[in-house]
């Protein structure tokens, strides 16, 4: 699809418009550059309203220029409305997880925009999480991962100033505190409309994509175009449990899997499976996150996949 009108939704806390304008000139070249309009995100709205404005202006390509939160908000509006406009990404955040999983250039805005302006689009699944918090029910989309436990605690425990200086390595600094905060609790899980089953765990992650920062693959079977979510449940309690978790991740689903193939393996302290919908009820409130955005403490959630919800370049 040839881009006629690109609406650039940009986060001023993550990138500079002058830099983006220079990158647009480099990416568009001299032959038939697209019309470009600019839509700034707000502190109280990371991109939904700006995306609506871009669509109302006639954009057939929405470029999300910012971090994972900006990309998530833009994709959420496109998926929710069924808009025909395609999605491009200029990664300018700390994690840039969707861009990493889609192999979009991370440190070259002109290269990322060239991909957005000229690349072929393909379907991208979008996950949805409907959670119950003390203030009511909230529904949010995610493109990469959602869940509670160690991942959500890493986000809440990470120092924002350190994140600005050290990037994604700031999450590593918070890992010890996140582990300490991730106590095993009782759960009820229902998979794909089945009966509720009791479970004890400290972390439940549902992934549309599998790779984290630093090239670490958390969900080796995750594919953002297969119409399924990948579930990871961590039960580790004590040193022996954490050692088993590391063994399963590094050996069974890492080195061993490279040579033998097959699906992700479960262990004594980990459970892997694939699904299209999960319902979970927690015995105790836990922090819940979607693509790095905190939703607060929840007591129950329903998470499902919307196949091919967005076309991404």
Give the lowest-confidence range in 36-50, 154-168, 264-278.
154-168
> Is the model's pLDDT at 262 over the cut of 80?
no
Give the per-residue pLDDT at 150: 74
Domains of the chain: 5-120 (3.40.50.10330), 126-308 (2.60.200.40)
Closest CA to 203 of 187, 216, 215, 191: 187
Give the per-residue pLDDT at 153: 41
> Is the model's pLDDT at 63 over the cut of 90?
yes
Closest CA to 204 of 230, 228, 180: 230
Alpha helices by DSSP H, listed for 145-299, are 150-157, 160-166, 169-173, 175-181, 239-247, 256-260
Give the per-residue pLDDT at 277: 98
**C-alpha span between 174 and 154 (Å, rounded):** 6
**C-alpha span between 111 and 115 (Å, rounded):** 6
Give the lowest-confidence range in 34-43, 122-131, 249-258.
249-258
Q: What is the mean pLDDT of the chain?
A: 84
Distance of CA 183 to CAs 32, 153, 186, 284, Å? 57, 11, 10, 10
Mean pLDDT of 68-76: 97
Q: How many CA atoms lie within 13 A of 115 on its CB side?
A: 21
- Residue 117 structure tokens: 């302006």
Give the per-residue pLDDT at 83: 97
Beta bridge mates, 221: none
Mean pLDDT of 163-180: 46
Q: What is the pLDDT of residues 2-24, one digit of tens each?
A: 789 999 999 999 999 999 999 99
């Amino acid at each position: 699809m040839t881009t006629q009108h690109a609406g650039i939704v940009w986060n001023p806390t993550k990138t500079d418009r002058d830099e983006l304008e220079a990158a647009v000139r480099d990416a568009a070249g001299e032959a038939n550059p697209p019309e470009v309009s600019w839509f700034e995100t707000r502190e109280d709205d990371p991109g939904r309203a700006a995306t609506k404005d871009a669509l109302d202006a006639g954009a057939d390509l929405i470029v999300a220029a910012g971090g994972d939160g900006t990309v998530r908000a833009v994709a959420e509006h496109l998926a929710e409305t069924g808009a025909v406009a395609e999605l491009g990404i200029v990664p300018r955040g700390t994690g840039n997880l969707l861009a990493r999983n889609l192999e979009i250039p991370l440190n070259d805005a002109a290269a990322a925009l060239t991909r957005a302006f000229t690349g072929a689009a393909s379907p991208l699944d979008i996950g949805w999480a409907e959670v119950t918090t003390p203030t009511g029910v909230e529904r949010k989309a995610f493109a990469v991962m959602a869940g509670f436990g160690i991942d959500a605690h890493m986000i809440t425990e990470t120092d924002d100033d350190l994140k600005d200086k050290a990037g994604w390595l700031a999450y590593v600094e918070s890992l010890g505190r996140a582990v300490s905060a991730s106590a095993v609790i009782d759960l009820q899980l229902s998979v794909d409309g089945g009966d509720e089953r009791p479970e004890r765990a400290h972390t439940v992650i549902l992934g549309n994509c599998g790779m984290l920062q630093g090239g670490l693959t958390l969900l080796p079977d995750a594919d953002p175009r297969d119409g399924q979510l990948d579930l990871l449940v961590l039960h580790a309690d004590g040193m022996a449990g954490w050692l088993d978790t590391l063994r399963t991740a590094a050996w069974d689903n890492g080195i061993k899997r490279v040579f033998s193939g097959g699906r992700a393996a479960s262990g004594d302290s980990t459970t892997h499976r694939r699904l299209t919908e999960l319902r979970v009820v927690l015995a105790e409130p836990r922090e819940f996150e979607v693509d790095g955005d905190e939703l607060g403490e929840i007591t129950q959630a329903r998470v499902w996949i919307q196949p091919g919800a967005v076309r991404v370049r």
